[in-house]
Amino acid sequence: MRRRTLLLGSVSAAAPVLLTGCGRLDPGDDDPRTLVVHHMLTAGSPMAKVYERLCRDFTRAHPGLHIKSVVSGGTDLINVYETARLAHKEADVILTNLAEKTLSWTAYKATVPVNRYLDAWGLRERFLPQALKEWTDEKGRVAGFPWTGFTWPVVYNKAVLAKYGIDEIPTTTEELVDAARLARKHGAKGFVSIGGNDWSGQKLLMQIMQAYLPASRAERLFRHGGFAREPLAVRGIELFTRLREAGVFFKGAQGLNADSMNTDYYTGRAPAISAISSTLSSVPADVVKNTVVGGWPVPPGGVHHKPTAFRGYTSTGIWISPNGEEKIDLVEKFVRFLYEPAHTRVLTREAGQVVGVREKTSAPDFPLVSDSIDLGDRVDYALMPDSYVPPAVSQPLIRATSLAYTPGTSARSIASALDHAYGG
């Protein structure tokens, strides 16, 4: 019942999008020599250009085989795919992320677990263990092949720091508060620009919340809630409120979003931001030369001894649909082609993508992405929430974030708001 409700709830919203994609799903797509791939790559973006070239190379290497693309913008892909699946007209392969509603796809048989294909196609050893872990659910099912991921460090503009009289990149919360004080003294709105009203602010809140919290307990909270009943989580949220009241975050952060945060950094107004790798790849060249990639400063007595960052491999995976399993020989050729070393390397070099495979590749045209990949032992990694937060909780949890960035809100109130997102 829940699965059918999940899908049927998408039908009316998705129908117009289904008619406007680059390809249409129809009975002709049953051609056993045509692979239908549903993705949301933005036309003209570096990633889309690399993907289109790989598709051309694939068809040249396999005469008589064809790739048909169905493109849906943004989150529309999920609704379009689920609608098509109800009619058994879904694409054979889907390129999308593992988050929110897609976390349910494997359990409700909207897509096919890839466990047996990992071994049968000789791909298991290609992947980083963390990448496979993130794509594996509690029952051991691997939802899809990890393709692209992300790094999520903190970046600091040395030129802006110098203008405010800040000599060193802060690595502790005490140094962070001192840096914020100096920045405000020189007229800045704060030290860190952040989208307190969207996903960017939510991730930073969860990162700071983990300051005193072991990863195993953080995972339990992300899965089930109970923040207000976990003393170490409350202690981390109290740290967050102290930083907020000390003016670390830009004034009015509770009403800002990731776009405003990025603009503040790109234009030299922000000394620092918490930046996912897709943001790093878009930093203007004149700002790149003044940027240092690091982590979020940590408090004394916390579980981390180095500044923290996030990293993950759930940005895009290669999923197989039930229709795709009917063309599994063709799917195998395509998937194995995409994971050839030359083809995974080009994703990093030419599109600035972080790839969940074992070999390391630099990105000369995306130096901040390369720096973030090479952070190595200079940072500790906090637990990324997205693989554990239940689909129905994701958006309410993000909405609870703006309360956290509102001056004067107590740690207990924030924890209760987070728990409310879980129905608690």
Confidence band, pLDDT 50/70/90 cuts, at residue 253: very high
Same-domain check for residues 404 and 330: no
With a cut of 80, say whether residue 397 has pLDDT above it. Answer: yes
Same-domain check for residues 358 and 395: no
Return the bridge partners of 70, or none. Answer: 38
With a cut of 90, say whether residue 10 has pLDDT above it. Answer: no
pLDDT for 216-241, tens place per residue? Answer: 999 999 999 999 999 999 999 999 99
Contacts of 249 (CB under 8 A, 6+ apart): 190, 191, 192, 193, 194, 196, 243, 405
pLDDT, residue 7, reads: 33
Task: Give the number of C-alpha atoms closer than 13 A to the C-alpha of residue 35, restricted to the C-beta side.
Answer: 28
With a cut of 60, say whether residue 368 has pLDDT above it. Answer: yes
With a cut of 80, say whether residue 416 has pLDDT above it. Answer: yes
Prediction pTM value: 0.88
Instruction: Indicate the helix (H) or strand (E) that contains 163.
Output: helix 158-163
Residue 286 lies in a domain: no
pLDDT, residue 359, reads: 87
With a cut of 50, say whether residue 375 has pLDDT above it. Answer: yes
Confidence band, pLDDT 50/70/90 cuts, at residue 401: confident
Let me know how long the chain is: 424
| Amino acid identity at 248 | V
Instruction: Give the domain-ending residue among 350, 366, 382.
Output: 366
Same-domain check for residues 127 and 61: yes
The helix, strand and coil proportions of the chain, stated in percent and rounded to the nearest 5, come to 50, 15, 35
Give, in order, the Cα–Cα distances in Å from 135 to each of 92, 161, 252.
19, 39, 36
pLDDT, residue 29, reads: 60
pLDDT for 66-99, tens place per residue? Answer: 999 999 976 789 999 999 999 999 999 999 999 8
Same-domain check for residues 84 and 144: yes
* Contact between 404 and 205 (Cβ < 8 Å): yes
Same-domain check for residues 139 and 33: yes
Range of the domain at 29: 2-149+313-366
Token couple for 332: 């195998």
Token couple for 29: 């797509």
Same-domain check for residues 223 and 342: no
Token couple for 260: 């405003």
- In this structure, the dihedral spanned by the alpha carbons of residues 167, 170, 173 and 177, taken in order and rounded to 10 degrees, is 40
Contacts of 264 (CB under 8 A, 6+ apart): 193, 250, 270, 273
For residue 232, the domain's CATH number is 3.40.190.10
| Average pLDDT taken over every residue of the chain | 91
| Range name among 144-153, 358-367, 406-415 with the lowest pLDDT average | 358-367
Same-domain check for residues 351 and 409: no
Residue 292 lies in a domain: no
Q: In 13-125, at which residue ranges do the beta strands (DSSP E only) sit?
A: 34-39, 66-71, 93-96
Same-domain check for residues 56 and 188: no
With a cut of 70, say whether residue 158 has pLDDT above it. Answer: yes
Taking residues 356-360, report their average pLDDT.
90
Residue 379 lies in a domain: no
Residue 344 lies in a domain: yes
Taking residues 281-296, report their average pLDDT.
97
Token couple for 335: 């998937």
Residue 304 lies in a domain: no
Taking residues 384-412, report their average pLDDT.
92
- Secondary structure letter of residue 112 according to DSSP: B
Residue 117 lies in a domain: yes
Count of structural domains, the chain: 2
pLDDT, residue 3, reads: 31
Same-domain check for residues 159 and 217: yes
Give, in order, the Cα–Cα distances in Å from 412 to each of 25, 227, 231, 255, 373.
50, 9, 10, 21, 36
Same-domain check for residues 133 and 170: no
| Amino acid identity at 197 | N
pLDDT for 92-146, tens place per residue? Answer: 999 999 988 999 999 999 999 999 999 999 999 999 999 999 999 989 999 999 9
pLDDT for 13-69, tens place per residue? Answer: 333 333 233 444 453 367 899 999 999 998 999 999 999 999 999 999 999 999 999
Same-domain check for residues 159 and 145: no
pLDDT, residue 26, reads: 53
Confidence band, pLDDT 50/70/90 cuts, at residue 340: very high
Residue 327 lies in a domain: yes
Q: Which residue has the tokens 């030290």?
A: 191
Q: Which residue has the tokens 């829940």?
A: 2
Q: What is the DSSP string of 347-366?
A: HHHHH--EE-BSS----TT-
pLDDT, residue 28, reads: 39
pLDDT, residue 377, reads: 87
pLDDT, residue 372, reads: 96
pLDDT, residue 360, reads: 81
Residue 128 lies in a domain: yes
Q: Which residue has the tokens 């790094």?
A: 151
Same-domain check for residues 45 and 130: yes
* d(C-alpha 264, C-alpha 188), whole Å: 11
